[in-house]
Chains A and B, each alone.
Chain A
């Protein structure tokens, strides 16, 4: 069974631009969560999607948004990029919402110049 797939693996953007990251969950998994990982703040929860609906949201500004498609694939968008948005963005998939084991993807490394 294929694992969680994130694309692209690396991105370089400049301040003010926007970016879209993609996450394909494990086959059969319907919940996708997104996390931001930085050396200073560690792993911080962004949001969770299940059945195309946002179920939980972390403490991030509205520039961070996401969506989920009917095939459970999810995208995350960051608008008006700031230098501080440079991070590893990880998505994790679970069978369903509720408290479940999460399996992480390899992440997308975003650098904002």
Chain B
């Protein structure tokens, strides 16, 4: 099956700096790549997603890039704020709603 690796596992940045989280996947058939944010004790919430026919997608301070050849995708958060502190998960899907998740990145934004 698909294997998704996510790095780094922890990330600390100063408020206002950028944060980048990277994921790689193993199955070239994967065609949908969502990113979820999970605050402590809360449910995962979708923050951005990208499909395999698109190389980049942006939503305000958040962007995702996809490199199908290298089989990796990245989350970019610019002008980070303390409320961006959370655990971020990447995921990949080959078929249906069966998502393979990365192991998560704990992001801390230091005021």
Residues on A lying within 8 angstroms of B by beta carbon are 4, 31, 33, 35, 42-45, 48, 55-56, 58-59, 90, 92, 94, 97-107
Closest to A92 in B: B97
Taking A92-B97, A99-B31, A99-B95 as contacts, is the C-beta distance between A106 and B43 under 8 angstroms? yes
Output the least CB separation between B78 and chain A (Å).
23
The 3 A-B pairs at the shortest CB distance, nearest first, are namely: A43-B101, A56-B98, A99-B32
Taking A90-B43, A101-B49 as contacts, is the C-beta distance between A31 and B103 under 8 angstroms? no
Contacts of B101 in A (CB 8 A): 35, 42-44
Do B98 and A33 have beta carbons less than 8 Å apart?
A: yes
Q: How far is the CA of A97 from the CA of B93 in the complex (A)?
A: 12
Q: How far is the CA of A31 from the CA of B99 in the complex (A)?
A: 13
Q: How far is the CA of A20 from the CA of B31 in the complex (A)?
A: 33
Give the number of residues in B that approach A within 8 Å (Cβ atoms).
25
Q: How far is the CA of A105 from the CA of B99 in the complex (A)?
A: 15
Q: Which of A42, A101, A107 meets B104, CB within 8 Å?
A: A42
The interface residues of chain A, by DSSP majority, are classed as: strand
Closest to A59 in B: B1
Q: How far is the CA of A56 from the CA of B42 in the complex (A)?
A: 26
B74-111 to A contact mask, C-beta < 8 Å, 1/0:
00000000000000010101011111111110000000
Contacts of B45 in A (CB 8 A): 104
Supply 8 A–B pairs (Cβ within 8 Å), ascending by A: A42-B103, A43-B99, A56-B95, A97-B97, A98-B96, A99-B32, A104-B36, A104-B43
Output the least CB separation between A105 and chain B (Å).
6
Do A55 and B96 have beta carbons less than 8 Å apart?
A: yes
